[in-house]
């Protein structure tokens, strides 16, 4: 194949992805090899590729491609999550745009629209992952609403219900008024917000006395059913047994006593609104208070809101505070910062609401998952700093509210056969439910059953993901799950450590008695250069596909990993993608250079022989470092070690050492060795830069599909010759010393120099050939004493001399050094004059004085060096 002069990422990426797909390299079936399994964190079916996905999936692809090269049966299972809240919101918005109101549709009609939307728009992200080079087994793609996946979810629900772990309860839940559904505690994000504390005056029934309470939510007074005081608070002891009148609605409510009240907060008097605050609900249950719910499901006020009925809660807050002020009930207002719960999905402010919901008991499920991570280390978190976060969540776990008031998702398999709250049975199918219900009401027909309208929380399907993708719930002993489970590595974000990771660990121990994965690699969040989280609203989130178009997939992959360390936030800068693209070009140009050499049957030069020996040792040393980085999930460090090996050691050093003279051929032995080393480099690079490396690999030689780089063999480690490496490091410093003198004295590289070494220790003569070639030396000898009329430099304890006769104009050099010496002496005198001025030293800031002292010291050192140079030239 002809080698193009420029690397063209777009052509290369399209060609090799099609080639890999055509030859089924990504496909995995159980066999006698060691399995290496990753299940993708399923992105939302509504999703499009963003920077977080790019980072997460690049890391997974690096791990899976390396496993393939290690000879393992690499299986990467892709898929998507049905994302109940997000998807239903998208479908409702589309219906609205088409003039259709969801409330006018039946459930089946709505689901038809939802499936149409999913089939039309869903799965875009999986196609985009292919552009990034992700080598998933696409034939295994799963969707959490696939029939078998849904059946797994229903089976688990029924099983946990029959074990007494799932129950129905009337509880205070987190209500999202925008999505019109409950949320689990973990889906509520608390934000500090500036608000007001309103001090309101309540009249005491039958007297002129008033009592003041403080609240952040004046609209909820319409749901007040008591005022509570602390029995130990002397200020309010006289109010025992009395009643108060709620402003505006004039409801008469009891004054109760409870030590729950904080005497230091506000006025020490607490309004009790059992329908809209969990702590108030507990007080209400304890004291037998009435419950008055003033909100509709969209957080507008209902008939208990009186003349505010139908208005939004935040509108009412403004209007009712004005009315309270006009009627003399508002005593004062203070600014107040408090934590407000918001919906992770819709960002709406959460409303505490009493509701019948389904819950999963978590206490017993969480114990094996806590032990498995923190005690037995059966599952390891990387970085381990997240162990404490995990411990905090798991030790403070609460029952999981698993029901959602939505239609998109797995419908809860509870069937009601009567009007009572407890008149239900739980079964996998309606037919099974009828058989169960008939044991209580023999005359029942299938048409008498009503299935619970709620669906299960999306996480209730994805917590089974590592098992259900292999059919491990429906067929617990099938070949696939027995081979691929437990999986090896999970790559995900710390923001879903509890939502998803912890729950998968619980489900794994519950249903297979085994961990779902061995290692959890937690990536950081992708932020911009200013450390801001990337978001559409800030306009700081680059278009992922545009980046691939501009820099190539390999360039973007390298750019992401260069800015990423495990568990630390990634400060993304497009310049790093440019660096990745430059690296790709560097490798391409190095390959074109090597392939452009004419090869002849001539002896191998000593410099080339030594250079190749050194590079092999350096390669093996770097390989050891890379293996160590991978074992600790320091993926960025593994890339950086590979980057330096290829850019610095291979391109900048080895190719210079072996490069033939201008218009002269290279010997066959060196040429073959360099191409062989190039191939070894490509193997290390392939997980990070799959497209470029496959392209170069296929250009090096004619390859059959069995010889493709993607299925070649990862290099094996051998004993490192550290003496060879240290000898070369010393030699490279000598070469740098020669080059520095050439640069400073403007001596062209084509002009050969002589080099004399004094007191040579610690370096063998085996590198002399390399020093002679790269320094362009006509002679290199050892001497017993220093040389006059020579330029010198030191490397450790050794001194090197380059005679100047003929190489430079001695007179001009002496004049140049003398001029610089005189200038430096004058500069030193001016600084010393300033420092001898007592007023300056006493009054100037300390750092300014210190800076002047440093200038003087630097000038003195420079004068000493210049005088030595002058002496050697005279």
pLDDT of residue 684: 98
- Residue 330 has what pLDDT? 93
Partners of 339 in the beta sheet? 192
As a whole-number percent, the residues of the chain with pLDDT over 70 amount to 98
Contact of 405 with 181, CB cutoff 8 Å: yes
Mean pLDDT score, 52-77: 96
- How much is the pLDDT for 805? 66
The pLDDT of residue 530: 79
Show the tokens assigned to 528.
């911009």
Alpha-carbon distance of 220 to 203, in angstroms, equals 17
Provide mean pLDDT across the span 16-43. Answer: 97
Rounded to whole angstroms, how far apart are CA atoms 237 and 108?
60
3-state secondary structure of 301: strand
81-90, 309-318, 436-445: segment of lowest average pLDDT: 81-90
Q: How confident is the model at residue 571 (pLDDT cuts 50, 70, 90)?
A: confident
The three-state secondary structure class of 612 is helix
Q: What is the pLDDT of residue 1?
A: 65
- Pick the range with the lowest mean pLDDT from 101-110, 677-686, 742-751: 742-751
Predicted confidence band at 525 (pLDDT cuts at 50, 70, 90)?
confident
SS3 of residue 131 by DSSP: helix
Cβ-proximal residues to 188 (8 Å cutoff; 6+ apart), any chain: 174, 341, 342, 343, 344, 350
For residue 94, what are its two tokens? 């589309």
**In this predicted structure, what is the pLDDT of residue 761?**
63
Radius of gyration of the chain (CA): 37
Q: Given this model, what pLDDT does residue 853 score?
A: 92
Q: Is a pLDDT exceeding 80 seen at residue 425?
A: yes
Distance CA 709, CA 690 (A): 9
| Residue 522: predicted pLDDT | 92
Query: Is pLDDT above 60 for 367?
Result: yes
Q: What is the pLDDT of residues 578-633, one digit of tens each?
A: 999 999 999 999 999 999 999 999 999 999 999 999 999 999 999 999 999 999 99
Question: In this structure, what are the phi and psi dihedrals at residue 126, rounded to the nearest 5 degrees?
Answer: -65, -35
Residue with token string 């002047």: 852
Question: By mean pLDDT, which of 30-39, 275-284, 422-431 is the weakest?
Answer: 275-284
**If DSSP states are collapsed to H, E and C, what string results for 369-422?**
HHHHHHCCCCCEEECCCHHHHHHHHHHCCCCEECEECCCCCCECCEEECCCCCC
Q: Which of 136, 141, 137 is nearest to 60 (CA)?
A: 136
Task: Give tens-digit pLDDT for 532-566.
Answer: 877 666 777 788 889 999 999 999 999 999 876 55
pLDDT the model gives residue 836: 92
Rounded average pLDDT over 396-417: 94
Cα separation, 469 vs 483, whole angstroms: 13
Per-residue confidence at 122, pLDDT binned at 50, 70, 90?
A: confident
Report the pLDDT value the prediction gives residue 823, as an integer from 0 to 100: 94
Q: How many CB atoms lie within 10 A of CB 529?
A: 12
Tell me what pLDDT residue 533 has: 76
Q: What is the mean pLDDT of the chain?
A: 91
The predicted structure's pLDDT at residue 365: 96
Strands 243-245 and 142-143: unpaired
User: For residue range 669-719, what is the model confidence (pLDDT) as tens digits?
Assistant: 999 999 999 999 999 999 999 999 999 999 999 999 999 999 999 999 889
CB 510 within 8 A of CB 367: no
Return the exposure string of 727-750: e unless at least 16 CB atoms fall within 10 Å of the residue's CB, then b. bbebbbbbbebbeebbeeeebeee
pLDDT for residue 183: 84
**Residues 499-520: tens digit of each pLDDT:** 899 999 999 999 999 999 999 9
Residue carrying structure tokens 């056969």:
417
Residue count (the chain): 874
**815: pLDDT confidence band, cut at 50, 70 and 90?**
confident
Q: Let me know: does 86 contact 46? Beta carbons within 8 Å.
A: yes
Contact 446, 429 (CB under 8 A): no
* Contacting residues for 798 by C-beta, under 8 A, at least 6 apart: 757, 758, 759, 760, 761, 762, 763
On whether the CB atoms of residues 574 and 526 are closer than 8 A, the answer is: no
* pLDDT at residue number 476: 96
Region of poorest pLDDT, from 19-28, 536-545, 857-866:
536-545
- pLDDT at residue 120, rounded to an integer: 86
Distance from the first to the final alpha carbon of the chain? 61
H helices present in 163-226, as ranges: none
| Banded pLDDT at 760 (limits 50, 70, 90) | low
Q: CA dist 573 to 51, 52, 78, 527, Å?
A: 11, 14, 28, 9
Per-residue tokens: 340: 């407000």
């Amino acid at each position: 194949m002809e080698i193009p002069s420029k690397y063209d990422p777009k052509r290369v990426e399209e060609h090799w992805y099609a080639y890999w797909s055509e030859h089924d390299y990504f496909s995995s079936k159980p066999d006698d090899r060691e399995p290496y399994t990753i299940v993708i964190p399923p992105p939302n079916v509504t999703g499009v590729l963003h920077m977080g996905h790019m980072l997460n999936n690049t890391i997974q692809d690096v791990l899976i491609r390396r496993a393939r090269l290690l000879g393992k049966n690499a299986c990467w299972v892709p898929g998507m999550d049905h994302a109940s809240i997000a998807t239903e919101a998208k479908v409702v918005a589309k219906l609205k745009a088409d003039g259709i109101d969801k409330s006018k549709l039946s459930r089946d009609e709505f689901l038809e629209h939802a499936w149409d939307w999913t089939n039309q728009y869903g799965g875009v992200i999986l196609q985009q992952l292919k552009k990034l080079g992700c080598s998933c087994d696409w034939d295994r793609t799963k969707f959490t609403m696939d029939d078998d996946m849904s059946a797994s979810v229903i089976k688990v629900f029924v099983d946990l219900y029959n074990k007494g772990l799932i129950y129905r309860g009337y509880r205070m839940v987190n209500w999202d008024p925008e999505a019109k559904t409950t949320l689990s505690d973990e889906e509520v994000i608390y934000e500090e917000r500036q608000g007001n504390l309103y001090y309101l005056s309540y009249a005491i029934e039958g007297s002129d006395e008033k009592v003041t309470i403080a609240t952040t939510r004046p609209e909820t007074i319409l749901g007040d059913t008591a005022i509570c005081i602390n029995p130990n608070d002397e200020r309010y002891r006289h109010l025992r047994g009395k009643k108060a009148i709620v402003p505006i609605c004039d409801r008469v409510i009891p004054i109760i006593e409870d030590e729950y009240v904080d005497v230091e907060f506000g006025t020490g008097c607490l309004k009790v609104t059992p329908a809209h605050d969990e702590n108030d609900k507990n007080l209400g249950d304890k004291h037998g208070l009435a419950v008055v719910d003033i909100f509709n499901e969209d957080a507008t006020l209902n008939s208990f809101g009186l003349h505010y009925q139908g208005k939004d809660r935040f509108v009412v807050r403004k209007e009712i505070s004005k009315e309270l002020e006009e009627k003399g009930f508002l005593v004062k207002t203070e600014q107040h910062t408090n934590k407000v719960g918001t919906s992770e999905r819709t960002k709406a402010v959460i409303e505490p609401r009493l509701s019948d919901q389904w819950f999963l008991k978590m206490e017993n499920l969480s114990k094996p998952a806590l032990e498995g991570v923190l005690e037995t280390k059966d599952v390891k978190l990387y970085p381990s700093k997240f162990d404490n976060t995990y411990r905090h969540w798991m030790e403070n776990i609460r029952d999981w509210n698993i029901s959602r008031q939505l239609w998109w998702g797995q419908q809860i398999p509870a069937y009601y056969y009567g009007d009572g709250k407890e008149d239900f049975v739980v079964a996998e199918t309606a037919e099974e439910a009828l058989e169960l219900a008939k044991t209580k009401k023999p005359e029942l027909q299938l048409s008498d059953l009503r299935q619970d309208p709620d669906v299960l929380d999306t996480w209730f399907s994805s917590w089974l993901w590592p098992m259900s993708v292999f059919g491990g719930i429906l067929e617990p002993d099938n070949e696939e799950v027995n081979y691929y489970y437990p999986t090896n590595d999970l790559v995900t974000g710390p923001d879903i450590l509890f939502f998803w990771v912890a729950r998968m660990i619980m489900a794994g121990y519950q249903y297979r008695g085994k961990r779902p994965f061995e290692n959890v690699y937690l990536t950081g969040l992708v932020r911009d250069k200013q450390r801001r989280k990337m978001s559409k609203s800030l306009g700081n989130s680059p278009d992922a596909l545009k980046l691939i178009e501009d820099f190539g997939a390999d360039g973007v992959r390298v750019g992401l990993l260069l800015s990423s360390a495990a568990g630390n936030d990634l400060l993304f800068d497009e310049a790093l993608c440019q660096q990745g693209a430059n690296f790709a070009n560097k490798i391409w140009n190095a390959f074109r250079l090597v392939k452009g050499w004419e090869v002849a049957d001539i002896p191998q030069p000593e410099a080339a022989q030594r250079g190749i020996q050194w590079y092999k040792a350096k390669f093996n040393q770097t390989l050891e470092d890379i293996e160590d980085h991978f074992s600790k999930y320091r993926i960025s460090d593994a890339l950086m070690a590979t980057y330096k090996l290829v850019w610095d050691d291979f391109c900048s050093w080895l190719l210079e050492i072996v490069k033939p003279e201008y218009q002269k051929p290279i010997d066959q032995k060196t040429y073959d060795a360099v191409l062989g080393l190039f191939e070894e480099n490509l193997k290390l690079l392939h997980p990070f830069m799959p497209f470029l490396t496959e392209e170069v690999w296929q250009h090096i030689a004619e390859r059959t599909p069995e010889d493709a780089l993607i299925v070649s063999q990862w290099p094996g480690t051998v004993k490192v010759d550290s003496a060879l490496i240290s000898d070369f490091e010393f030699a490279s410093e000598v070469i740098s010393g020669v080059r520095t003198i050439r640069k400073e004295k403007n001596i062209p590289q084509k002009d050969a120099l002589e080099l004399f070494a004094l007191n040579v220790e610690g370096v063998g003569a085996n590198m002399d050939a390399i020093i002679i070639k790269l320094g362009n030396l006509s002679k290199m000898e050892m001497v017993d004493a220093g040389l006059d009329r020579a330029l010198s430099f030191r490397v450790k304890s050794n001194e090197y001399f380059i005679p100047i006769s003929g190489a430079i104009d001695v007179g001009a050099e002496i004049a140049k050094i003398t001029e610089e010496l005189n200038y430096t002496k004058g500069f030193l005198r001016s600084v010393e004059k300033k420092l001898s001025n007592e007023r300056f030293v006493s009054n100037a800031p300390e750092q300014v004085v210190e800076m002047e002292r440093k200038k003087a010291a630097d000038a003195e050192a420079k004068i000493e060096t210049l005088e030595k140079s002058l002496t050697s030239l005279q």
